[in-house]
Structure 1
C-alpha cells in the first residue's frame, strides 16, 4: 500500500504477528514512493534482503530475527528434533542472502541459540521464546544506536561539517541509525551540523535514502557526487566523516559500502578524521583482517542500466561491481561502539570493548 507521509513516521522493520508477517519499507521505491510490504514466506524474506528492499546491517539483523521467527511459527510439528531441523534449514537459507553483513548471521545464530538452550521446552513454548528474542533484538538496536550517537557526538562540536557515505541512518536500523545517530542527536540539541551526503554509486543509497531522511528531519544536508568529496574536504567544509559498516575485522579493517575506502584515503590527505559507527554485533573478532572478509559481487545491470531510461554503457562491456570495499585500519581515527570508542591499535582496543560488554552483561545492566 502506498503511503504519502513523512518517512520518519514509519518503522523500517516491524513485526505483524497477527498476520504472521515481517513488514518493511521497500527501500528500492524510495524516495519516489513510501511503500510498506509484508513478507510471509522464506522466499519473500530472502528476496527482500538480497534485493535491498531492506538493507543496512542493523535492519537486516532485525528483519532476519523477525523473519526466522515467522518461519518457525509456521513449522507444523510437536517434535523438538523435527522442529529444530526445519528451523536450521530455514536459518541457513536466509543466511545465504547477504554474505558480507555480519549482522545477518549474528541475529540468526542468536535466534538458534534460543532453541539450543531450551531443548527441554515444548515447541509452542519455543515459538514464544523466539518471538520474545526477536523483539528484544529490535529493542536493543534502538538503545545501541542512541548510545553510539552519544559517543559520536563527543567527537564533534556545534556547527561542524560532517560527511557520510551510503546510508547508515534510520532506514538502515530501527531508529537513529549508526553513522547518523550523532547527527540526529545533535539536531535534537540544536548543534546545527552541516551534512554532506555522498550519492553512493551505483545504488545511490546516499541520494535516495540518506539525503531523503535527513532532509525530512530538517537537517542541513547537501547531496554531492562521490567524486566531490575531495573538493569539499579541501575547502575546509568537513570536520569529520561518520560512516557505518557491515563487518569490522579483529584488526580494525572495516567492510562498508563500495567507495568508503576512497573517502577514507581522501580524508587522510586533508587530515579529516574518519569514524566507523559499529554496533558490537557488527564486529567480528573471528575475522583476522580485511582480506578475510568475503565481498559480495552484484549484477552488472546495477551499473549499466538500473537508473537510466536507456542503457548507459556499450553492450558487452565488462563490469566489475563489488558491493563493498575494505577500509584499512590505518585510515580510521576511531570505531564508535555502544560500549565506547575504540582507538588504534584495534587488535587490543576491540578486545577491551568486548571485555567491557561482557562485564556489563554479567552484572545484568
Structure 2
C-alpha cells in the first residue's frame, strides 16, 4: 500500500474558515492559510498559495463558507452573495477552467432549489454539492490515471514538468495497482519551483524513483545523448485543452514538447476533458503574471540588482502536432480527435 502524500488533501474546512496548505513554502514549512471570506479564498488562488488543481477544492470550500455566512439573510440575498463569490473565484486565475466548472456545478444545484427554500437548505445544498464535486473530481482523476498507465511500459523513465497534483498521485497509484513501476525525472519549474518542491517531494514521499533537473535541462535529457538514459515518455497535466487540440500548461511545457517531438519521445497530456467553451486556442486567456516574480526565487532575489524588468507568462500553448495523446477520464485521444470526447453528450 502506497502512503498517502500530504498534498493529496491540501484544503480543509472549519466552521469559519477555509484552511489552505501554503504550497509556496511547502515542504520546507507546513503552514495553513486561513481564508475567512470568498475574497480571501480568491486571493489565495491568485497569490499562488494553492496552485495547479488545488484551486478547485479551495473554490468549492469557499462557496460553502459563503453559504454558511448567509444564515439569517433572505434567500435572495444569500443566492446573490453566492453568485458574486462564484464570479470572484472564477476570475482569480483565468487559464485553468476547473474553478469555473466547479462553481457552475455548485451553483447549478443551488439554482434548482425551490423559490421558498430557506438559508438552511441553501447551506445544506451547497455543502452536499461541494462534497460531490470533490469526489467526482477524484473519481475522474482515477479513471484518467488508469487510461494513462496503460500507455506506458513497466520500468519506463518519465519526464514531467511542474506539479500535476491529483493526476500525478492517481497515476502513481494506478501504476502500483497493475504492478508497474516507473522512474521519474522532474523539472524544477521556475520561478515557484513546483517541480522541485511539490512534484519531486510527493514522488519521493510515495516511494518512487525521482531525479530532479533544472528547466533548462529538459531538451538535453530528452536527447539520445543524455547520460541519464533514455526518456520513454513526457507526461504533464494540462490546465486547459481547446477543442482543436491545443494544450495549455505551465510555461516550459512547450519547449519540452517540441524537444520530445524532435527526439521521437511520446508526449501525453492529462486533463479530465477538453473545454467545450474553447473551440480554438485563441478562445483561452493565457495568464500574464507580474514579471517581477521571475527576479526572485523563494523570496530571495536571484537577478542582478541592476535588472528591474522581467517577463512571466504563467502558461504556454503547445500545438497539437507536438502532442501524442491527450489522456482524459474517457480514454486517450489523438489531439485532432479530442473533440470526440463530447460526442456522447451531443447524441
Residues 148/108 of structure 1: CA separation in 2 closer, same or farther (3 Å cut): same
Secondary structure of 2:342's aligned partner: helix
Q: Which residue of 2 aligns with 1:123?
A: 119
2:139 equivalent to 1:146: no
Going from structure 1 to structure 2, the CA distance change for 1:150 and 1:229 (only over 3 Å counts) comes to same
The size of the alignment, in residue pairs, is 340
Distance of aligned partners of 1:11 and 1:166 in 2 relative to their CA distance in 1, 3 Å threshold: closer
* 1:24 to partner: Cα distance: 2.3
CA separation of 1:241 and 1:184: change in aligned 2, threshold 3 A: farther
Shift of 1:67: 0.6
Question: Which residue of 277, 285, 298 corresponds with 1:286?
Answer: 277
Question: Would the aligned equivalents of 1:187 and 1:193 in 2 still touch at CA under 8 Å?
Answer: no
Cross-structure match for 1:69: 64
Q: Offset of 1:188 from its aligned partner? A: 4.6
Q: Is contact 1:80–1:119 with CA below 8 Å preserved after alignment?
A: no
**Distance 1:159-1:316 versus aligned 2 partners, 3 A rule:** closer
Whether the 8 Å CA contact 2:141–2:170 is kept in 1: the answer is yes
Task: Confirm or deny that 1:53 pairs with 2:49.
Answer: yes
Kindly tell me: are residues 135 and 216 of structure 1, through their superposed partners in 2, closer, same or farther at Cα, counting changes over 3 Å?
same
Which one of the candidate residues 154, 162, 174 is aligned to 1:158? Answer: 154
2: CA distance, partners of 1:64 / 1:87: 11
Are the counterparts in 2 of residues 179 and 242 from structure 1 also a CA contact under 8 Å? no
Structure 1 match to 2:9: 12
Change (3 A) 1:156 1:313: same
On the 8 A contact 2:234/2:267 being kept in 1, the answer is: yes
CA contact (8 A) 1:253 1:329 kept: yes
Alpha-carbon deviation of 1:192? 2.7
What is the CA-CA distance between 1:209 and the residue it aligns to?
0.7
CA shift, 1:194, in A, is 1.0
1:134–1:252: structure 2 CA closer, same or farther, 3 Å change rule? same
Instruction: Measure, in 2, the Cα distance between the counterparts of 1:11 and 1:247.
Output: 21
Asked whether the 8 Å contact 1:243–1:276 carries over to 2, the reply is: yes
Mapping 1:310-329, distance limit 5 Å: 310-329=301-320
Residue 173 of structure 1 corresponds to none
In 1, distance between residues paired with 2:90 and 2:5? Answer: 29
C-alpha displacement at 1:277, in angstroms?
A: 0.6
Q: With structure 2 as the length reference, what TM-score do the two structures score? A: 0.91
Query: Which deviates further from its counterpart, 63-72 or 40-49?
Result: 40-49
Return closer, same or farther for 1:123/1:308 CA change in 2, 3 Å cut-off: closer
2:209 maps to which residue? 220
Partner of 2:86: 91
What SS is found at the alignment partner of 2:234?
strand
Q: Displacement of 1:231 after TM fit? A: 1.9
C-alpha distance in 1 between matches for 2:233 and 2:169: 12
Cα drift, residue 78 of structure 1: 4.6
CA distance in 2, matches of 1:220, 1:306: 26
Residues 71 and 120 of structure 2 are in contact (CA less than 8 Å); yes or no, is this contact kept in structure 1?
A: no
| SS of residue paired to 1:28 | coil
Task: Note if 1:231 corresponds to 2:220.
Answer: yes
The match for 1:363 is none
| Aligned-partner Cα distance in 2 for 1:298–1:200 | 15
Partner residue in 2 for 1:112: 107
Instruction: Give the 3-state SS of the residue equivalent to 1:23 in structure 2.
Output: strand
2:167 — aligned with what?
A: 178
Alpha-carbon distance, 1:152 to partner = 0.4
User: TM (normalized to structure 1)?
Assistant: 0.87
Alignment of structure 1 residues 209-358 onto 2, 5 Å: 209-234=198-223, 235=226, 237-280=230-273, 283-307=274-298, 309-346=300-337, 349-350=338-339, 352-356=340-344
Whole-Å separation in 2 of the counterparts to 1:163 and 1:125: 48
Name 1:174's counterpart in structure 2: none
RMSD (Å) for aligned C-alpha atoms:
2.1
Q: Following TM superposition, by how much is the alpha carbon of 1:314 offset from its aligned partner in structure 2, in angstroms?
A: 4.0
2:21–2:33: 8 Å Cα contact kept in structure 1?
yes
SS in 2 for 1:345: helix
C-alpha distance after superposition, 1:241-293 (max 9, x if no partner): 1111111111010110001011110000010111111012xx21221222221
